[in-house]
Amino acid sequence: MERTAESEQLIALMLRMNDCLHRYKQQADSGKTFMVLGSLREYEKRRGRPVTVTEMAHASGLALPNVSRLLAPIEQAGLIERVKSGRTVNVIVTEEGNRQLDEFWNGFSKLIACAFERLTERQRKDLLESGGKVADYLEQNIKNQSAGDD
């Protein structure tokens, strides 16, 4: 199979998985909250520090006021808090935000575990390893492009 066809298959697979996640979110009645909380947790886990509002705007391509509007209802619900440090505003997931994220995460994890049971141990390992490499490359490439590198 040539590279273009493989790339198109991977894109289709990623879109299908994204659609499944989107439909699961709708069933769980979590709207955008899960995506925001999950992204905040992942960022902090990878970088070892909370994300800033400016970084969220840059990564999402949204203007700062739009990011603030997106965060406002989640903050009002007590799931995140914005902590100002000088001119920087960090976004931190609260205890209640972590509890709700864990609840959603556990439900979705059970669904993923059922899907994984259909694969052999080797297939699971290969999928996680290769998927991680693809995601790492895509993240780095997109980061370089946004910084003006080619």
Please tell me the total number of residues recorded for the chain in this structure: 150
pLDDT of residue 80: 94
Alpha carbon dihedral 70, 145, 14, 111, in 10-degree steps, equals: -50
pLDDT of residue 84: 93
Condensed to tens digits (0 to 9), the pLDDT of residues 2-17 reads: 678 888 988 899 898 8
Q: Which two tokens stand for residue 43?
A: 């960022």
Condensed to tens digits (0 to 9), the pLDDT of residues 65-105 reads: 888 888 999 999 999 999 998 989 999 999 999 998 898 88
pLDDT of residue 28: 66
Instruction: Give the burial class of 79: count Cβ atoms within 10 A of its Cβ; 0-12 exposed, 13-18 middle, 19 or more buried.
Output: buried
80: left (phi over 0), alpha (psi -120 to 50) or beta: beta
pLDDT of residue 56: 86
CA 64 to CA 50: how far, in whole Å?
Answer: 17
pLDDT higher than 80, residue 148: no
- Give me the mean pLDDT over the 43-61 stretch: 86
Q: Which two tokens stand for residue 139?
A: 């993240």
CATH classification of 32-94 is 1.10.10.10, yes or no? yes
Distance of CA 106 to the CA centre of its chain: 15
